[in-house]
Structure 1
Amino acid sequence: MSKYYYLVAGLPELTLEDSKLSYTVADFRTELYPALSEDDKRLIDLFYLQFDNANVLKLLKDKDAAIDPRGNYSAEELTEYISLLKEGGEVSDRVFPSYLSVFISEYVNLSAEDGFLHEDRLAALYYAYAMKCKNKFVSAWFGFNLVINNVLVALTARKFKMDVAPLIVGDTEVCEALRTSGARDFGLGGEVEWLEQLVKISETEELVEREKKIDRLRWNWMEETTFFDYFTVERLFVFLLQLEMIERWISLDKEKGSQLFRSIIAALKDEVRIPAEFR
């Protein structure tokens, strides 16, 4: 296992309350990434694949769309792979993640489905791919997030009397319990140790405050899980995750958060039938 004494020692201290940054996710890619071992680069790539996911969706809808430069692949590379897969060809998983090839092929054949379902399918494939990685922390991180996202979605769906099953992403035992259980805790009381905490978070009415609580849960989990990882790639991965959280919060002030909340509620009212008492 590679040790990164100088890299980790040189990283700035981060807290979720930071209001400005002298370092960004993009900076990490250009400055620190070259110093990593090849195996550790592949681990860090899993973090940056989230941007590739969004870029692939954009380019499938519009081949001339501007993409997020933080991804692992350039617009030219993605366009080339998409074209090849559309024509029935194959792309080696040595140069392009297999789950993205699967998704692009499915997208071409199931283009009648709406974008929301496409995003869910891509998320499910991404999580499954990342959770198979051999690094225990990175695999656990993606599993942890999958549970958080699905539990919160399930709780919200129940609140608005919506069908939970089609909203759950992934194919794990927890996912299956969320889809099928009628129990108050979905039968997960002994399976998900922070279930009650998630229930309390889901009851928070103010969207920005709720998101902050979710990120605080994530932040604490990362710190506790990597407490003894001092100069390892796990610590670098945590730094990236925390950096991304802070970047997001700096860009999302309370007014923007309120606007986001109103737009989400408006979209929900348009797309699903929410009982009048919850509107």
Structure 2
Amino acid sequence: MAYYYLVASLIPLTLEGDVSFTPREFFESCKNMLASQDRKDLEYVIDGRPESARHAFVRKWLYAENQLKNALAAARSARLNIDSHQFLRGDKKIDINAAKIVAEALSKHNPLDKERALDKYRWKLLDDMARADFFGMSSIFSYVIKLKLIMRWKSLNDEKGREVLEKLIVTNSGEICYGM
């Protein structure tokens, strides 16, 4: 189904940009314009349950995300000299483009730069995927996932980073201290 007016009215987004609304607020503002199944699928994506969605775009996105995570698992496993097969998801394949992006991202020294490179790849992938159905749900799904990426970046700060690091250290202190 085409959503010409809704897609034409979308405010352009950038990964480094700022937005004054959340994915949930966006959903609330447009849910009455969407067909029933499209509305359900969009809500699944917003709520972090994209695997429940039936739309082909979401399925394709999940596959691409698995490919990226598989490439990350393979690269990290290779650095540790362990077999990556146990860590791979889905069909356990690794997309060559995802592997190339992961290699480039992991070569960066700053962890923030690594994350930014991976999210820039995700952003480009979303743009490419949305072109196939520009005035349809593909553009709307792409938009919401981009909003989620922006919100994630807005939530990153030094204090949260320290909290995560401390939690990792406490959780893994036995392994660190005793080599378990």
- What TM-score range do you get, normalising by the shorter chain? 0.7 to 0.9
Q: Which runs of 5+ in 2 are unaligned?
A: none
Q: Deviations over 1:24-58 (max 9, x none)?
A: 112022111122001212321330341xx6xxxxx
Question: Who is 2:162 aligned against?
Answer: 259
* CA RMSD of superposed structures (Å): 2.9
Question: Who is 2:58 aligned against?
Answer: 138
Residue identity in the other structure for 1:48:
I
Q: Deviations over 1:35-82 (max 9, x none)?
A: 2001212321330341xx6xxxxxxxxxxxxxxxxxxxxxxxxxxxxx
Aligned length: 178
Which has the larger share of helix? Answer: 2
Q: Deviations over 1:178-210 (max 9, x none)?
A: xxxxxxxxxx5xx53332221121233322211
Q: Structure 1 residue runs of 4+, over 6 Å off?
A: none
Q: CA deviation at 1:264?
A: 7.1
Cα separation, 1, equivalents of 2:69 and 2:170: 19
Classify the secondary structure of the residue corresponding to 2:20.
Answer: coil
Q: Deviations over 1:112-132 (max 9, x none)?
A: xxxxxxxxxxxxxx75x55xx
Q: Residue 15 of structure 2 contacts residue 149 of structure 2 at CA under 8 Å; is this kept in 1? A: yes
Cα separation, 1, equivalents of 2:173 and 2:36: 47
Q: 1:33 aligns with which of 31, 34, 47?
A: 31
Q: CA deviation at 1:229?
A: 2.8
Cα separation, 1, equivalents of 2:83 and 2:165: 22
TM-score calculated relative to the size of structure 2:
0.81
Q: CA deviation at 1:222?
A: 0.9
Greater length-normalized contact order (CA 8 Å, ≥ 6 residues apart): 2
Residue identity in the other structure for 2:38:
D
**Structure (1 or 2) with the larger CA radius of gyration:** 1
**Shift in alpha-carbon separation, 1:259–1:209, aligned structure 2, 3 A:** farther
Q: Which runs of 5+ in 1 are unaligned?
A: 54-125, 175-187
Cα separation, 1, equivalents of 2:176 and 2:83: 11
- State the identity as a percent: 21
Q: Residue 8 of structure 1 contacts residue 235 of structure 1 at CA under 8 Å; is this kept in 2? A: yes
Q: Residue 208 of structure 1 contacts residue 257 of structure 1 at CA under 8 Å; is this kept in 2? A: no
Question: Who is 1:229 aligned against?
Answer: 133
TM-score calculated relative to the size of structure 1:
0.55
